[in-house]
């Protein structure tokens, strides 16, 4: 087998998602899913990470080569592959995923358990796509949101200590050296996805 395309959004999913298109009732035309931070140590969450995902994956159309590559891998796993659904996206939408993504502005500080992202299919024939994209969205948002949340709370603690012990908070922006990308954050907000089906 050749090297996998790192930008193939069809393969950026849990393998069990491949069979979901067969599990929706046939009359399903609209699915809405959302992502929230369920909870953890903090009562406030900093939302971060979506824009890079949108630029890296959703700003580029899927191709016939992406479908061929995904079909080979998914069927090798013994799973059904929605070739007709993906082909429909190429033929009707020029390869762009027919999804509407609504989200809070990145950097928003919101109460934990607030919906951060909502995804809705815009083509009634692609209701299956909303939940299919869930894995990729969670991968894109969960870790950066966790690191941003932990770092923001650390910064609040540093600012509080500076206000009590120093004449000024000058240099606050340089007091926290965040190496969050080097290892897992602890006590991170847990992702959750909920769906409404019409």
Q: What is the total count of domains within the chain?
A: 1
190 in a domain, yes or no? Answer: yes
pLDDT tens across 39-87, in order? 888 999 999 999 999 998 899 999 999 999 999 999 999 999 999 999 9
Is the model more confident about 187 or about 48? 48
Q: Which long-range contacts (CB under 8 A, 24 or more apart) does 57-60 make?
A: 57/7, 57/9, 57/12, 57/136, 57/140, 58/9, 58/96, 58/97, 58/99, 58/101, 60/7
Residue 36's pLDDT is what? 92
Q: What is the pLDDT of residue 168?
A: 81
Q: What is the β-pairing status of strands 31-37 and 191-197?
A: antiparallel
Show Cβ contacts of residue 80 under 8 Å, excluding neighbours closer than 6 positions: 18, 19, 21, 22, 74
In-domain check, residue 4: no
Inside any domain, residue 126: yes
pLDDT of residue 111: 96
As a whole number, the mean pLDDT across the chain is 87
Confidence grade of residue 197 (pLDDT, cut at 50, 70, 90)? very low
Q: To the nearest whole percent, how much of the chain has pLDDT over 70?
A: 86
**Beta carbons of 128 and 109 less than 8 angstroms apart:** no
Do the domain assignments include residue 3? no
Domain-embedded: residue 107: yes
Per-residue model confidence as pLDDT tens digits over 82-108: 999 999 999 999 999 999 999 999 999
Tell me if 108 is assigned to some domain. yes
| CATH code of the domain covering residue 19 | 3.20.140.10
Read off the pLDDT of each residue in 150-161 and give the average, rounded to a whole number: 88
pLDDT of residue 44: 95
**pLDDT value, residue 198:** 47
Residue 189 above 70 pLDDT? no
Residue 18 is part of which domain span?
9-197
Q: Residue 80: name the closest of 136, 132, 17 by CA.
A: 17
Strand partners for 120: 32, 100
**pLDDT of 178:** 64
> What is the four-CA torsion angle of 47, 49, 52, 57, rounded to 10 degrees?
-110
């Amino acid at each position: 087998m050749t090297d996998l395309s790192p930008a193939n959004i069809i393969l950026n999913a849990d393998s069990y998602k491949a069979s979901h298109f067969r599990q929706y009732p046939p009359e399903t035309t609209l699915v809405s899913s959302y992502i929230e931070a369920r909870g953890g140590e903090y009562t406030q969450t900093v939302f971060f990470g979506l824009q890079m995902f949108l630029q890296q994956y959703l700003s580029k159309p899927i191709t016939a080569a992406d479908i061929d590559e995904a079909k080979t891998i998914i069927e090798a796993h013994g799973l059904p592959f929605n070739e007709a659904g993906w082909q429909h996206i190429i033929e009707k939408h020029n390869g762009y995923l027919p999804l509407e993504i609504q989200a809070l502005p990145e950097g928003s500080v919101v109460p934990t358990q607030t919906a951060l992202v909502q995804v809705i299919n815009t083509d009634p024939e692609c209701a299956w796509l909303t939940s299919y994209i869930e894995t990729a969205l969670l991968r894109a948002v969960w870790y950066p949101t966790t690191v941003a949340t932990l770092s923001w709370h650390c910064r609040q603690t540093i600012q509080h200590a500076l206000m009590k012990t120093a004449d000024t908070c000058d240099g606050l922006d340089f007091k926290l050296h965040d190496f969050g990308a080097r290892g897992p954050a602890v006590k991170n907000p847990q992702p959750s996805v909920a769906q409404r089906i019409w």
